[in-house]
Each structure stands twice: as structure tokens, then as C-alpha cells.
Amino acid sequence: MIRGFRGATTVTKNDEAEIMKETKKLVVEMVEVNNIEPSEISHVLFSVTDELNAGFPAKVARQMSGWTHVPVMCMKEIDVPNSLERCVRVMLVAKTNLQQDEIIHVFLNDAVKLRPDLIQKEGE
């Protein structure tokens, strides 16, 4: 089955090094907690909020072992008034045996505010 895995994080400033560091932390956790192998990934979409333009978060994938042939794309998030700022979102699409309700979506830093209903509780 092909399924989507959601993730999001925030950065404190529009800085390429911080964008790369926080995005890598997010993607690594997404694949680890869901036991995803790079060869099982169909594609990954990265979006950033309007104020982030210092670097491409998808560049992180090129630095990860086994990700050479994983298609990635960056785009701008819709600029909705009063939405979470300095946010990087990820939609990773991969082959998995997990059921929809077994997928662990990962939200880090201030992005935990986006979907508190999906945040994994300690001990789950």
C-alpha cells in the first residue's frame, strides 16, 4: 500500500543552516519511527512558509544515504493570515504495510500546534 506520512517543524530565523538542520531532524525521525527505507519512497514534497527563502529544504534528501534517486520538490505554502510562521512541512509518500491509523506523523518545535490530535504521546 502507498501512504502519506506528514511532518512539520519550525525554525527560529530565515537561515539556510538552521532550515537544513531542522528539516533533516524531521525527515530522519519520520523515516525512523515509521520504518521507511529510501527504496520504498515514491516522492517527497517540502513546503515552506512565505518568509523562508534562505535555502531549499529538499536539499537535505541529497545528503542522506540511499536517497540519491528519491524524487523531491520544494514549494511555497499558502500564505494564510495568522498561520504558523517559519514552518517547513513535509509530505512523504511511501510503500508501507502500516494501516492508516498506525502511521506516526511527526511534528517538531512549534509545529506541534498544527495537529495536536496526531502528536504521539509518551509510551504509545
CA dihedral 82, 76, 48, 31 (to 10 degrees): 130
Pairing of strands 41-48, 87-95: antiparallel
Q: Is 86 annotated as a binding residue?
A: no
Partners of residue 6 on adjacent β-strands? 91
Distances (CA, A) of 13 to 8, 27, 34: 16, 19, 29
Count of H-run helices and E-run strands, the chain: 1, 5
* Binding site listing: 6, 89
* Binding site listing for prephenate: 6, 89
